[in-house]
Amino acid sequence: MTVFSHSDYLAIFLSVKGAVVATLLSLPFGFAVAYFMTYKRFRGRIALDVLVNLPLTLPPVVVGYILLLLLG
């Protein structure tokens, strides 16, 4: 059986805390985009659809590399 140290628990807590904060911050934007894509007609709707679905179709390594190029 693996025994976790205090620093292991702190790292796990930090990961969970970061995931919860990121989810709570992105949830309103996700609902807004979903609402507009479902009920509104506007120019660029297809481009927004592609942008939203792109991370689902690309492997995570490719998405990480693109983010590294854009933000790095």
pLDDT exceeds 70 at position 24: yes
Question: Residue ranges per domain, the chain?
Answer: 6-71
Q: How much is the average pLDDT of 10-15?
A: 95
Distance CA 2, CA 42 (A): 55
**What pLDDT is stored for residue 1 in this prediction?**
67
Distance CA 2, CA 11 (A): 16
pLDDT in tens, 43-54: 989 999 988 888
DSSP 7-62: HHHHHHHHHHHHHHHHHHHHHHHHHHHHHHHHH---TTHHHHHHHHHHHHHS-HHH
Task: Tell me the average pLDDT of the chain.
Answer: 90
